[in-house]
């Protein structure tokens, strides 16, 4: 097997045992990237030189008998809304084109400390606002399973990179489903941690009370490895919990789901018509597997979350975004349309620098916070949010995990929804309540659609606050039945790439 196709855990072991070097691994990944990027366009920046240096450093350390970190030599990709010092971070926006962060995100620091090697920055929807990566100001990304389709969003580039075998691990960010939905569309494991588990220092903020950085991987072991590295306290983030993190690799040993109660959601039934039949089938199948493995299937009710989560999110997220994106004004960094007056500088820069979807959200957000509307919209949405939290808490009194589809459909076709943003918002109906409730959730590949070009279909598991071990436990058990996430077969390159 080609080195790029190994899991992160296998790479770490192999490098440590000197079966191959970190430089060889990186070279293999780089070839893979160079072969497929013209077709996929998953990346906004390729840090080949830096990656080679870092890989060489890992090799040097191993040769000297040093203690390699838990991710030593593993190439990783970061979503382009995360700061990596000296490397452009554009958030896929013209307003930050060319901006080079002078500091590292906490997650990047932790990855570097663990010995990971940075391969590049991934494409995304502009400022993480979108569900298809089509709102990137630069170019769309293709789904490795069907290049005529979207990879999902907003972390589409990160998902495509892992699904295509560029790298075994990537970081994305999830505000309303932006890790889980692309994971579903690309057939991967994707995890949104509990709000406050991973530091947001160095993550360009979209909606501060909803954003979380999280891992993409093709195996549960890799997912747990990456989560272990990034889930650490950080005194620079006031919302990052100081509680002790458990050992996330421990649940990997789980052998069954005996004693676990997995809940289906009552309201899903009434939504049958908006959920693709293949998605329903895969969910059903996955639940059967859970039953097989000893889980008890129960039922919970989440009426507020499923009926009102969407409007609540599309009031609160844009509100916070409108404030977070106000700093982009052409004065200190980024795009600057110099004109005669300050006012023109602001209007021109922001008018030219932001894409249509970002503008829509900034305007909506400004409106719902404005004088006269704050109570009717923002405050009301916050109350709905509180109800949703209570609703989930009550549900978890009766179960250990809640199972839902990740997305109502498999990956949709490019351009299909780009002109109907509100319809595109519906793609997040099952994911965004989780962000509003600040809970952790994982999407795993439950199966594929039938037909000529099979498409991955994800299944989502939601756990109570700090319940990542519970999620990893279930995923580990299911992985034994469903298998690891495969690398997408891609055209001619695939044939060459996957040969022994």
Partner 1 sequence: MTSRYIPVIGLEIHVQLSTATKIFCPCSTDYIGAEPNTNVCPVCLGLPGSLPVLNKKAVELGVRAGLALSCTIRNHTVFHRKNYFYPDLPKAYQISQYDLPLAEGGEIYIPGDDGRPRRIRITRLHLEEDAGKLVHSAADGRLEGAAFSFVDYNRGGVPLAEIVSEPDITSPGEAREYVARIRQTVRYLGVSDGDMERGSLRVDANVSVKKTDAATGEVLCWGERTEIKNMNSLRAVERALEYEIRRQTAVLAEGGTLERETRHWNDGEGVTTSMRSKEAANDYRYFPDPDIPPIVVTEELLESTRNSLPELPWAKERRFGEEYGLPEADAAFMAESLPVALYFEECVKSGASPLRAANWIRTEVFRVMNEKGFSMDSFPVKPSALAELVSMVDGGKLSTTVAREVFAHLAGGRSLKDALAAAGASPGGLSAEDVEKMVEKVLTVNGDVVEEIRSGRDPKGKKIKFLAGLVMRDARGQADAAAVSGILERRLKEGR
Partner 2 sequence: MTISEKDVRHVAGLARLRVEEQEIEPLVRHFEAILGHFAALSKAREEGRLNLDGVDPFLFSEREAPPLREDEPVRSAVRDDVLAAAPERKDSFFVVPRILEEE
SS3 120: strand
Cα(383)–Cα(287) distance, integer angstroms: 33
Position among 38, 49, 65, 102 found at the interface with partner 2 (CB under 8 A): 102
Strand positions, DSSP E, 70-218:
75-79, 117-122, 169-174, 189-192, 212-217
> Residue 185: left if φ>0, alpha if ψ -120 to 50, beta else—which one?
alpha
Stretches 32-40, 198-206, 438-446, 482-490: which one binds partner 1 (CB under 8 A)? 198-206
Interaction partner, residue 89 (partner 1, partner 2, none; CB < 5-8 Å by kind) = partner 1
Cα(459)–Cα(464) distance, integer angstroms: 17
How many other CB atoms are found less than 10 A from the CB of residue 240?
20
Q: What is the largest CA-CA distance in the chain?
A: 71
SS3 408: coil
Position among 151, 193, 196, 410 found at the interface with partner 2 (CB under 8 A): 196
Interaction partner, residue 475 (partner 1, partner 2, none; CB < 5-8 Å by kind) = none
- In this complex, which beta carbon is closest to partner 1, that of residue 285 or of residue 380? 380
Question: Which single residue is written with the structure tokens 């006269």?
Answer: 372
**Structure tokens, 181:** 């939905």
- In this complex, which beta carbon is closest to partner 2, that of residue 63 or of residue 356? 356
Catalytic annotation, pick one of 7, 41, 136, 154: 154
In sequence order, what are the residues at sequence separation of 6 or more whose Cβ sits closer than 8 angstroms to the Cβ of residue 268? 275, 306, 404, 405
In sequence order, what are the residues at sequence separation of 6 or more whose Cβ sits closer than 8 angstroms to the Cβ of residue 270? none
Neighbouring-strand partners of residue 82: 203
Cα(213)–Cα(227) distance, integer angstroms: 10
DSSP 488: P
Interaction partner, residue 351 (partner 2, partner 1, none; CB < 5-8 Å by kind) = partner 2
- In this complex, which beta carbon is closest to partner 1, that of residue 328 or of residue 461? 328
Q: Are 410 and 456 in contact (CB under 8 A)?
A: yes
Q: Quote the least distance from Cβ 358 to partner 2, whole Å.
A: 10
Position among 29, 44, 62, 89 found at the interface with partner 1 (CB under 8 A): 89
Known catalytic residue at 178: yes
Position among 37, 39, 307, 416 found at the interface with partner 2 (CB under 8 A): 307
**83 makes contact with partner 1 (CB under 8 A):** yes
Stretches 371-379, 392-400, 423-431, 449-457: which one binds partner 1 (CB under 8 A)? 371-379
**374 makes contact with partner 1 (CB under 8 A):** yes
Interaction partner, residue 83 (partner 2, partner 1, none; CB < 5-8 Å by kind) = partner 1
Known catalytic residue at 79: yes
SS3 87: strand
Position among 203, 315, 487, 490 found at the interface with partner 1 (CB under 8 A): 203
Cα(34)–Cα(31) distance, integer angstroms: 5
Interaction partner, residue 96 (partner 2, partner 1, none; CB < 5-8 Å by kind) = partner 1
Q: In Å, how far are 130, 164, 371 from 140, measured between CA atoms?
A: 12, 16, 37
* CA-closest candidate to residue 129, choices 438, 418, 459, 381: 418
Question: Which single residue is written with the structure tokens 């859970």?
Answer: 290
Interaction partner, residue 319 (partner 2, partner 1, none; CB < 5-8 Å by kind) = partner 1
Position among 209, 301, 336, 348 found at the interface with partner 1 (CB under 8 A): 209
Stretches 26-34, 165-173, 366-374, 386-394: which one binds partner 1 (CB under 8 A)? 366-374
Cα(335)–Cα(330) distance, integer angstroms: 6
Question: Which single residue is written with the structure tokens 């993550």?
Answer: 203
SS3 376: helix
The torsion defined by the Cα of 85, 350, 380 and 179, in degrees rounded to 10, comes to -40
Interaction partner, residue 387 (partner 1, partner 2, none; CB < 5-8 Å by kind) = partner 2
- In this complex, which beta carbon is closest to partner 2, that of residue 307 or of residue 416? 307
Interaction partner, residue 320 (partner 1, partner 2, none; CB < 5-8 Å by kind) = partner 1
Question: Which single residue is written with the structure tokens 């790439």?
Answer: 497
Neighbouring-strand partners of residue 118: 76
Known catalytic residue at 154: yes
Q: Quote the least distance from Cβ 326 to partner 1, whole Å.
A: 3
Stretches 81-89, 115-123, 150-158, 179-187: which one binds partner 1 (CB under 8 A)? 81-89
Stretches 57-65, 91-99, 406-414, 458-466: which one binds partner 1 (CB under 8 A)? 91-99
**Structure tokens, 150:** 């979207």
Chain contacts with partner 1 (rule: CB under 8 A) = 82-83, 89, 91, 96, 99, 101-103, 105, 200-205, 207-209, 235-239, 319-320, 323, 326-329, 331-333, 342, 346, 366, 369-371, 374, 378
Chain contacts with partner 2 (rule: CB under 8 A) = 99-100, 102-103, 196, 235, 238-239, 241-243, 304, 307-308, 310-312, 314-315, 322, 326, 329-334, 336, 338-348, 350-352, 354, 356, 359-360, 362-364, 366-367, 370, 377, 379-387, 389, 421-422
Residues forming the active site: 79, 154, 178
């Amino acid at each position: 097997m080609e080195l790029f196709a190994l899991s992160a855990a296998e790479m770490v072991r192999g490098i440590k045992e000197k079966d191959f070097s970190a430089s060889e691994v990186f070279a293999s990944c780089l070839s893979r990237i160079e072969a497929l990027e013209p077709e996929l366009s998953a990346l906004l920046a390729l840090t080949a030189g830096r990656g080679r240096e870092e890989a060489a450093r890992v090799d040097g350390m191993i040769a000297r008998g040093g203690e390699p970190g838990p991710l030593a030599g593993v190439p990783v990709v970061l979503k382009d809304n995360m700061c990596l010092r000296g490397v452009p971070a554009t958030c896929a926006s013209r307003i930050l084109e060319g901006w080079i962060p002078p500091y590292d995100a906490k997650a990047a620091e932790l990855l570097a400390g663990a010995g990971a090697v940075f391969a590049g920055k991934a494409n995304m929807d502009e400022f993480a606002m979108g569900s298809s990566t089509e709102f990137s100001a630069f170019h769309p990304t293709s789904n490795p399973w069907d290049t005529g389709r979207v990879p999902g969003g907003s972390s589409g580039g990160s998902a495509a990179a892992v699904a295509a075998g560029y790298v075994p691990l990537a970081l994305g960010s999830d505000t309303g489903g932006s890790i889980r939905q692309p994971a579903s569309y690309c057939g991967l494991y994707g995890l949104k941690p509990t709000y406050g588990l991973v530091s947001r220092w160095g993550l360009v903020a979209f909606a501060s009370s909803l954003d979380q950085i999280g891992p993409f991987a093709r195996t549960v072991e890799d997912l747990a490895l990456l989560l272990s590295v990034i889930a650490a306290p950080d005194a620079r983030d006031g919302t990052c919990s100081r509680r002790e993190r458990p050992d996330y690799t421990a649940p990997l040993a789980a052998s069954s789901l005996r004693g676990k109660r997995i809940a289906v959601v009552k309201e899903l039934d009434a939504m049958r018509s908006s959920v693709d039949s293949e998605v329903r089938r895969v969910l059903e199948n996955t639940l059967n597997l859970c039953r097989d493995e000893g889980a008890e299937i129960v039922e919970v009710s989440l009426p507020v979350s499923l009926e009102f989560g969407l409007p609540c999110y599309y009031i609160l997220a844009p509100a916070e975004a409108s404030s977070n994106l106000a700093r982009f004004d052409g004065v200190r960094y980024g795009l600057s349309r110099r004109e005669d007056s300050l006012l023109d500088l602001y209007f021109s820069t922001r008018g030219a620098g932001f894409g249509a979807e970002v503008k829509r959200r900034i305007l909506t957000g400004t409106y719902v916070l404005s004088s006269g509307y704050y109570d009717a919209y923002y405050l009301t949405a916050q109350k709905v949010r509180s109800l949703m939290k209570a609703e989930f808490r009550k549900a978890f009194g009766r179960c250990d995990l809640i199972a839902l589809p990740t997305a109502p459909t498999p990956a949709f076709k490019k351009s299909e929804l780009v002109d109907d943003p509100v319809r595109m918002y519906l793609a997040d109906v099952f994911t965004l309540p989780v962000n509003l409730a600040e809970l952790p959730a994982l999407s795993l590949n439950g199966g594929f659609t039938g037909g000529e070009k099979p498409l991955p279909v994800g299944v989502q598991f939601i756990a109570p606050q700090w319940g990542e071990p519970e999620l990893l436990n279930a995923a580990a058990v299911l992985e034994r039945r469903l298998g690891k996430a495969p690398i997408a077969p891609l055209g001619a390159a695939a044939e060459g790439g996957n040969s022994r």
